Structure 1
Amino acid sequence: MFRRREPVPFAFLAEADRYRGNVTPPPRERASAGQLAGRWLLGFTIVAGLVGSLVLGMPALSQDQSSTQTEQSQASNGR
């Protein structure tokens, strides 16, 4: 393992990597009703936007079967 070149004068400095304090952090504050409502509203808005873009984009992504069949029949008649 890596050794230090200079001697460490205090033992607690050598053990600083392994030190764990016994002080517990303060408890987290609970979110207020307004904050919870805002989070729900933001989540609902994002989900509604994704669903709306999917609903509006589906017709553009689907292929028109009648135009594909017409193009194939015209290509076979032209040969």
Structure 2
Amino acid sequence: MFRRREPVPFAFLAEADRFRSNVTPPPPDRASVGQIAGRWLLGLTIVAGLVGSLVLGMPALETDHASTGSQQSQASDGR
């Protein structure tokens, strides 16, 4: 980390970047059954939305070879 080049009159200021607390933080609250179920439901909804958009969007992304061939044959017949 950043080191000071000039001397510091108080040693605790010089070593402040290396200070570690001896106080342990409280343990995190456990999620309730409703919160866990809500997280699963939200995750499943997002995944279902992504899968649904792929299922509905894939036909629009496909190239239609049959209509392309018929358009080319019509254009060649008209000349």
Confirm or deny a common fold (TM above 0.5): yes
Number of residue-to-residue matches in the alignment: 77
Partner of 1:34: 34
For residues 62 and 41 of structure 1, the distance between their equivalents in structure 2, rounded to whole angstroms, comes to 32
Q: Deviation digits for residues 3-27 of structure 1, max 9, x if unmatched?
A: 22xx533211111111111111111
Tell me the TM-score normalised to structure 1 length.
0.81
Residue 77 of structure 1: how far off its partner (Å): 4.1
Q: Deviation digits for residues 17-61 of structure 1, max 9, x if unmatched?
A: 111111111111111001000000000000001111111111111
Give structure 2 stretches of 5+ with no counterpart: none
Partner of 1:63: 63
Residue 62 of structure 1: how far off its partner (Å): 1.0
Aligned positions of 1:1-79 closer than 5 A? 2-4=4-6, 8-77=8-77
Give structure 1 stretches of 5+ with no counterpart: none
